[in-house]
Structure 1
Amino acid sequence: MLEQPLFGRRLKQLRTERGLSQAALAGEGMSTGYLSRLESGARQPTARAVEHLSAQLGVDASAFAEAVTDSLTRSLAIAASADSDENLVEVQRALDAGGGQDPLLRWQALWMVAQWRRRRGEHKQEGEALEELVRLGDELGLPELRSRSLTQLARCLRACGEIPRAAEAASEAHRLAREHRLPVADVAASLLALVSVESEAGRLSEARAHADELTALTEGRTDTLWAEALWTAAAVRVRQGDLTSAQKLLDRALAGFGSAENLSLWTRLRVAAARLHLQKAPPELDVAESYVEQAETSLAFVGIPALGQEVNALKAEIAFEGGRFADARTLLDRVRGADPNMTYRNRVRLDILDSRLLIIEGDEEEGLERMRRLAEQAQAASNIDLAADIWRLLAETLARSRGTSRS
């Protein structure tokens, strides 16, 4: 017996495989409206409809009863049991082929592909998958899927420097998680995204309030969510200039979160700690270098090129602050020569360091102009925090350069 919604999905698959529009398939013997309702599963097919569609498609009626075990189902099952680049490439190909795929199955495949793209630092492709995830979540009407896809989209948009859109997505994800009483993990994930975006937008009072909500929500845990909450709350305090409180929060995460739990996060926490000590006045270079050395021990096992590039870029910044300008230039050129696939903020950090080195190396006018452009671009993108950082670093670099030249 031909039951819905399997019949509708199989019908759509057969039609799209042949490149037919609904109007072309319906022909003169059926209305496109009726065909559309058949494909959506809203109408049960009659014997006459099946006969007409079989003739139009050039298949036997039994073709509609075949199990829809398409390439997406197969590739997704294989990827789920062995998460490798090769298997995920096949999942992406099956997604690109389309053709009558079950919406929930497609959502699952897109989620897997988006996570894969994120790990590889391919933010543009990740964003494309996440945009479709959001649309599918809306169509399916499941608040869990809607909140999760919006949270990940917000994180991706932030990584790409699209702060206003990221804030909109994170706010909606948080609203859905709260309104539908979703699990703590969903509420916390939405808050992680929201706090980060609010901080970069310069909305520090809102970010602090949400960060406090986040740490209270995850209190008593020792998992990835807890460590990320402490890290995020620390980042807000850094931007508020409260480095002492930031260090206390980060130290708790560093002490209580083991590498066996999540090696990538364990490494990132050490990168964050190195950067915090680098921002102190005066910079605590020995401590920063110690954390960088710890982070480097895990890079070969993490397998995330962008993270390795971030660590090398941080080493260049430490060399600059230590007055080893030639070393800083060598390290910076090495990172750039690897064609860095980094977040928007980290790419800008490379440009900032390049501009600061130009000033120190004697090309003050060019370095000054570049940093002005970077600050204006960050301001235009609503990345207020980054713009403020650039102006601060420009002032410090000019003072350092002119002080050195006078001496």
Structure 2
Amino acid sequence: MLEQPSFGRRLKQLRRERGLSQAALAGDGMSTGYLSRLESGARQPTARAVEHLASRLGIGVAAFEESGATDSLAQALAIATSTDSDETFKTLERALCADDGQDPLLRWQALWLVAQWRRRHNEHAKERTFLEELVALGNELGLPALRSRGFTQLARCLRACGEIVPAVEAATTAHQLARDNNLPTQDVVSSLLALVSAETEVGRLAQARAHADELTALTVGRSDSLWAEALWTAAAVRVRQGDLGAAQELLEQALDRFSSAKNLTLWTRLRVAAARLHLQKTPPELDISEQYIEQAEASLVFVSIPALEQEVTFLKAEIAFQRGQFADSRALLDRVRGTDPHMTYRNRVRLEILDSRLLIIEGQEREGLKRMRALAEEAQAASNIDLAADIWRLLAETLAKSHEAPTA
């Protein structure tokens, strides 16, 4: 028999798992007020109400029976912190959906872990949902450290989604909280990493450079992941300022001194960043770029991150394009596009840029031009001014190359 409050907990879990609001689930056959009272356990469900909700959820009535011990947020959290696997995080996510929020600190910790799990899989839209609740909960708790960390992660997620201005705002809040409340250096550095990256994307290069200098000053004498990321981030600012020599010097410090034993994923990403840097030079240093790509590829067997694997393949496609090997470039690009691209907004745009450039080379000039113009306008609308400028520049270069190269 379906009794309260277990029915209400299970109903809320099923609704949240499907991403439905109370109004969407209630439909025309039930008021949202009544549904809310059912979820809270204040009303006993009638047979008619149960049938209506089961139909709306697309389940059998038996599914309203509570799913057991794994619904306990405390148990799911304990398992997730001691066993790192997709299955344990799925269980934790389900427990979050069923939890009624009686322990906000426990819920904050669970939200943090599930958001990190979603980020590792580059599922930024789902990550964002959890982070937005995390930030709201942190504000309710009023703890500066939790608030700063929540805003930092939200800023990183927003940037990955291409929402650069909100990312700057979130990162600015995180940095201010860390500074005003004398939080540990790691919190200040983490907020600055997010802030500098977002400011660079939006074209606020003076502010980004000042914050990058603050970032590197805070990490002097270290040799850990924060130090390597600080150098990488500072290098990215120099790249946007057009000082590729200074960017290379900063990046080479991290490449030379940061060991793969400390963080193999970051070690690999640094080599991918170096490969892209040498591709951006005039003329592109293709041999050096390929050397870094080979090093990155060798570690992918152990890292096994789809987004990183796709980025490496995509860089190989860009190198092939620069060498005039257009058929090879197309084959590599299609390999990436043949799977679900687990990429950040900027890398997804880069992928579409290369596809458009290849269309122009292949003789579909009108379609390629149309797509590149649309990409540039989209980047401008998102306040991604430097990306828009890159697209217009690449468009001009491609048109020139298309008149030099054969179409086959």
Tell me the amino acid that sits aligned with residue 249 of structure 1: L
CA RMSD, 1 decimal = 2.2
Matches within 5 A, 1:205-224: 205-224=206-225
Q: Post-superposition shift, 1:304?
A: 1.1
User: 1:325 Cα deviation (Å)?
Assistant: 0.5
Residue 368 (structure 1) aligned with residue 359 (structure 2): no
* 1:295 and 2:296 aligned: yes
Preserved contact between residue 115 and residue 128 of structure 2 (Cα < 8 Å): yes
Question: 1:358–1:366: 8 Å Cα contact kept in structure 2?
Answer: yes
Distance 1:104 1:323, change over 3 A: same
TM-fit CA distance, 1:403: 3.7
1:397 aligned onto 2:377? no
Amino acid at match of 1:264: T
Q: Choose the corresponding residue for 1:17, options 2, 9, 16.
A: 9
> Residues 285 and 14 from structure 1, CA distance in 2 versus in 1: closer, same or farther, beyond 3 angstroms?
same
What residue in structure 1 maps to residue 190 of structure 2?
Answer: 189
CA displacement at 1:303 relative to structure 2: 2.0
**CA 1:304/1:13 → structure 2, altered by over 3 Å: closer, same or farther?**
farther
2 CA distance for matches of 1:263 and 1:204? Answer: 30
Match of residue 141 from structure 2: 140
Which residue in 2 is equivalent to 1:235? 236
Distance 1:304 1:224 in 2: 18
Q: Which protein is bigger by CA-based radius of gyration?
A: 1
Unaligned segments of structure 1, at least 5 residues = 1-11, 28-67
Whether contact under 8 Å (1:13, 1:100) holds in the other structure is no
Cα deviation, 1:145-195, whole Å, max 9, x if unaligned, reads: 000010000000000000111111001001100000111100011100011
Per-residue deviation at 1:370?
0.8
> What amino acid is the match of 1:17?
R
Q: Does the CA-based 8 Å contact 1:224-1:262 persist in structure 2?
A: yes
Asked whether the equivalents of residues 70 and 76 of structure 2 are also in contact (C-alpha less than 8 Å), the reply is no
User: Contact 2:359–2:367 (CA<8 Å) still a contact in 1?
Assistant: yes
Q: Is structure 2 residue 314 aligned with structure 1 residue 313?
A: yes
Per-residue deviation, 1:23: 12
Q: Secondary structure at the match of 2:403?
A: helix
Q: Kindly indicate whether the alpha-carbon contact (under 8 Å) linking 1:13 and 1:99 is maintained by their aligned counterparts in 2.
A: no
Q: Which residue of the partner structure matches residue 383 of structure 2?
A: 382
Deviation for aligned residue 1:211: 0.5
Q: 2:313, 2:79 → 1: CA distance?
A: 36
Counterpart contact for 1:14–1:99, Cα < 8 Å: no
What amino acid is aligned across from residue 288 of structure 1 in structure 2?
S
Distance 1:353 1:69 in 2: 46
CA distance in 2, matches of 1:100, 1:228: 35
Instruction: Give the direction of change, closer, same or farther, for the CA distance of 1:340–1:22 in structure 2 (3 Å limit).
Output: closer
Residue identity over aligned pairs, in percent, reads 71
SS in 1 for 2:109: helix
Aligned residue for 2:283, secondary structure, equals coil
Q: Secondary structure at the match of 2:251?
A: helix
Contact 2:356 2:368 in 1 (8 A): yes
Q: 1:152 — aligned with what? A: 153
Q: CA deviation at 1:73?
A: 0.6
The amino acid that maps onto 1:204 is L
Unaligned runs of 5+ residues in structure 2 are 12-35, 44-68
CA shift at 1:282, angstroms?
0.7
* 1:14-53 map, 5 Å: 16-17=8-9, 21=37
Counterpart code for 2:224: D
How far did residue 17 of structure 1 move? 3.3
Q: Identify if the C-alpha distance between structure 1 residues 337 and 70 changes in structure 2 by more than 3 Å, giving closer, same or farther.
A: closer
Does the residue aligned with 2:183 lie in a helix, a strand or coil? coil
1:43 is matched with which residue?
none
Post-superposition Cα deviations, 1:258-290, rounded to whole Å, max 9, x if no partner, equal 111111111100000000000111110000000
Residues 1:243 and 1:21: Cα distance change in structure 2 (over 3 Å): same
Does the 8 Å CA contact 1:13/1:101 hold for their aligned counterparts? no
CA distance, structure 2, for counterparts of residue 275 and residue 308 of structure 1: 15
| Equivalent AA in structure 2 for residue 71 of structure 1 | S
Q: Deviations over 1:364-383 (max 9, x none)?
A: 12111110110000000111
Q: Could you give the per-residue CA deviations for residues 37-74 of structure 1, whole angstroms, max 9, x where no partner exists? A: xxxxxxxxxxxxxxxxxxxxxxxxxxxxxxx9961111
1:283/1:18 Cα in 2 relative to 1: closer, same or farther (>3 Å)? closer
